Amino acid sequence: MMRLRRFTVEDNHKPLKLMAVLAHPDDESLAMGGILAKYAAAGVQTYLVMATRGERGWFGPAAAYPGPEALGRLRETELRAAAQVLGLQEIVYLDYQDGELDQADPAEAIARIVSQVRWVGPDVVVTFDPNGMYGHPDHIAISQLTTTAVMAAADPGHTVLTRNSPHRVAKLYYRAFVQAEQAAYEATFGRLVMPVDRVQRRFTVWPEWAITTRVDTSAYGEQIWQAIACHRSQLPDYQQLKTLPDEVKAGLWGRQSYYRAISLVNGGREVEDDLFAGLRGRAQSRPLIYDLPQLQAA
């Protein structure tokens, strides 16, 4: 566990908290750099739970692969630098191996995430969508595990020995890439193809009509790029990326789309522009008490 900076609470309201639960170092910058930079700048406390250290993400010649441990250490260093650029409070690793998350014992993996959710007490949790952006099994696994962990964290009957005080997350989001983002990504980083079980998985985009939340991140383009650039081991075309025209960067990082999977504070068809919509200006963690009319059995 690493603390990046201290945070002092000066007003009477508790600061809002955002937690991203992801699979590999660089996911936070490439997929969610915009919201992490934006909300940290706005005084939201941002936390990152990372399932692996990306020990298999090697783009150099096979003979030069330094091995999982050394690459994991290098990527940890890269992530620490990116986290500083993005203003993250803390990074916690779940200590799984890159590429093996969907073979992990689900009960144990869920308990590890529950433990972090209860410790930090986030208002909003974000993770990958159920298709894992382009079918990456680790991304799909972290989406499923996080969704379950958000529910389990609120359940007093779910016991994690060290962190046993239930916490109710108000909103859970999936990062939902749309067509325009896919086009910008693949034009920049090349075609994303994930071969799994003899199937070539490709980028899976969400229809615009299914998007519940669009966050304007255009003011943070440079910061997002600085964070991505920290992951040098993952950017074989770094020199070329460095000189991307501004309009391409704007297409990549100007706006981020999300799907609101769970919300205790709002709903409906109106598209939000804020992950904290429904949570602003109210005390968090207040008890939920509803007075419902008596429902009659037919």
Q: Interface residues with Zn ion (CB under 5 A)?
A: 23-24, 27
At position 116, the amino acid (one-letter code) is Q
The half-sphere exposure of 67 on its side-chain side, counting CA atoms within 13 A, is 2
Nearer to Zn ion, 20 or 149 (CB): 20
Question: Residue 34, Cβ neighbours under 10 Å: how many?
Answer: 25
- Nearest-approach distance from CB 55 to Zn ion, in angstroms: 12
- Nearest-approach distance from CB 293 to Zn ion, in angstroms: 47
Environment class of residue 213 by beta-carbon count within 10 Å: exposed (0-12), middle (13-18) or buried (19+)? buried
- Nearest-approach distance from CB 127 to Zn ion, in angstroms: 11
Question: Residue 9, Cβ neighbours under 10 Å: how many?
Answer: 9
Nearer to Zn ion, 113 or 170 (CB): 113
- Nearest-approach distance from CB 181 to Zn ion, in angstroms: 16
- Nearest-approach distance from CB 27 to Zn ion, in angstroms: 4
Nearer to Zn ion, 27 or 272 (CB): 27
**104 in Cβ contact with 96 (< 8 Å):** yes
Nearer to Zn ion, 16 or 140 (CB): 140
Environment class of residue 55 by beta-carbon count within 10 Å: exposed (0-12), middle (13-18) or buried (19+)? buried
* Rounded (5°) CA angle 190-91-73: 65
Inter-axis angle of helices 68-86 and 33-41, nearest 10: 40
- Nearest-approach distance from CB 31 to Zn ion, in angstroms: 8
Nearer to Zn ion, 24 or 75 (CB): 24
Q: What single-letter DSSP state applies at residue 205?
A: P
- Nearest-approach distance from CB 10 to Zn ion, in angstroms: 36
Nearer to Zn ion, 23 or 172 (CB): 23
Nearer to Zn ion, 45 or 127 (CB): 127
Q: What single-letter DSSP state applies at residue 103?
A: G
For 21-69, the DSSP string reads: EESSTTHHHHTTHHHHHHHHHTT-EEEEEEEE--TT---S-GGG---HH
Nearer to Zn ion, 185 or 276 (CB): 185
Which residue has its beta carbon closest to Zn ion? 24
148 Cβ contact partners less than 8 Å away, ≥ 6 residues apart: 106, 110
- Nearest-approach distance from CB 5 to Zn ion, in angstroms: 25
CA distances from 8 to 12, 138, 165 (A): 12, 35, 23
